[in-house]
Amino acid sequence: MNLLKVSAVILPVFVIFSWQCFLLVHRVTESPYIDEEFHVPQAQRYCRADYQWDPKITTPPGLYLASLALLRVSNALGLDLHCDIFFLRLTNVVFASCNFIVLTLIMSKLNKGSLSTGALELANLSTFPILYFFSFLYYTDVISTLSVLLMYCAFLHNKIILSAMLGFVSLWMRQTNVIWVAFAAAIHGYNLLDELLKKDKVRRGKNEIFGRVWAGLQRPHVVSSIVLQETPFIAVGASFAAFVAWNGGIVLGDKSAHEATVHLPQLLYFSAMCAALAPATFAAAAPRFLRLTLRQPAATVLAAAAVAAVVHLNSTAHPYLLADNRHYTFYLWRRLLQPAGFLLAPLYLFTGHTLLTQLARHGLFLQLLFAVCAAAAVVPQALLEPRYFVMPFIFYKIHAPETNCKLSAVNVLVSLLVNVFTVYVYVYCPFTPESKVRFIW
């Protein structure tokens, strides 16, 4: 039995569980909630063939076009569906199930461990709490993730033109998806460089990245060959650049509240989140990190001091973070990160080091590439928003899955418990018994 057959058994359980959670969430909030107040009316305008744009919406119309396409197909098949909030939310349950299927294809391609750990890691990624919760509301995250996963799945199966086309589609879901298109393009280019240098019998060390690049740049036939084979990805990058020039920036609407900045603590928050949602993996790595710190105490102290300085000097509290107490991050910031964030420097140092160490099995190039792409995804964001961490986390887990079955099982259990907790709190714990205000990521 392979991972594809195992996933065929798990998928119905995933769908049934998601359906039940969806019904619970929808039952207590039958009207648009938070960002849905923008997305639902916009989608319904598209259903009426009214393409007037809400200037408060920051992302492209891919979600609304996909929902409209599903509605048209469903009705063509004889289903009497309407473009109401129930249907629109339900589309995300469909997209979440598609995510499960595409993750299966990706994990079956990359999984080098046992079948049991592969199945557990698939379950862990499919139930990643920050993304999974938004399967029950009409947000852009689920379909945005699906579009990127489809792009990367095609890339892993060496369908470069299809991958680039899907990468272009992903830009219609969320602009920052261009980062993960660039991730795939960089790996493709580096692999091509390796192959061409082998043909030229160029000697190189295992991790001499810059030496390889320099050797390639000195050979015009290598450069021209790589550029030619990277053309599909280059075209996607050019289309994105044209959009930015036309739009006057990356964000579509509400530009004043979404200005790019340099917010380095976002990387630290991301690494801490990875540890929180894969605790067994990080706990198992703690003894090794402790031995390293004991061997190099001076370097450890200096690194921790640098991290503390970054937190103290560069932490930013976006007005949206301070103004909206419906989000868990509001309380996380006020009760922990704001009063004593720099005291967490040793934790950040441990989680960041462990994360990059786990990626080391794929070589220095992937480590550096992931670090650059993760930074590009989160550092420009002034707002502490867990949803910004979704794509970096997924790419981290795709390339650094847990290989110990017991540790992976603990991580899955934690994800399930967090999902049960967040759904339970949302459904059964409003601010007051009569209140429609509920807690959310």
Q: Give me the DSSP letters along 370-406.
A: HHHHHHHHHTT--S--GGGGHHHHHHHHHHS----HH
Determine, yes or no, domain membership for 90: yes
Determine, yes or no, domain membership for 418: no
Determine, yes or no, domain membership for 49: yes
Determine, yes or no, domain membership for 240: yes
pLDDT at 206 (0 to 100): 54
pLDDT at 213 (0 to 100): 85
Determine, yes or no, domain membership for 129: yes
pLDDT tens for residues 271-319? 999 999 999 999 999 999 999 999 999 999 999 999 999 999 999 889 8
**Are 91 and 166 in the same domain?**
no
**Are 56 and 92 in the same domain?**
yes
Question: From CA 169, how far away is CA 360, in angstroms rounded?
Answer: 31
Domain count, the chain: 3
Determine, yes or no, domain membership for 203: yes
pLDDT at 283 (0 to 100): 96
Q: Cβ contacts of residue 173 below 8 Å, gap of 6+?
A: 59, 60, 62, 63, 140, 143, 144, 147
Compute mean pLDDT per 10 residues along the chain, 441 residues long, and list them.
85 95 95 95 95 92 95 90 95 97 93 84 95 97 98 97 98 96 97 87 69 85 93 97 93 83 96 96 95 94 94 90 91 90 91 94 91 97 94 96 93 96 94 85 91
**Are 306 and 365 in the same domain?**
yes
Domain span at 287: 253-403
**Are 274 and 397 in the same domain?**
yes
Which residues in 225-237 are b (16+ Cβ under 10 Å) and which e? bbeeebebbeebb
Measure the CA angle with vertex 410, ends 419 and 4; round to 5°: 80
Determine, yes or no, domain membership for 436: no
The last residue of a domain, from among 108, 139, 170: 139
**Are 100 and 177 in the same domain?**
no
**Are 9 and 115 in the same domain?**
yes
Question: From CA 353, how far away is CA 345, in angstroms rounded?
Answer: 12
Nearest to 106 by CA among 4, 181, 232: 4
pLDDT at 216 (0 to 100): 83
Question: From CA 243, how far away is CA 239, in angstroms rounded?
Answer: 6
- pTM, to two decimals: 0.94
Determine, yes or no, domain membership for 412: no
pLDDT at 165 (0 to 100): 98
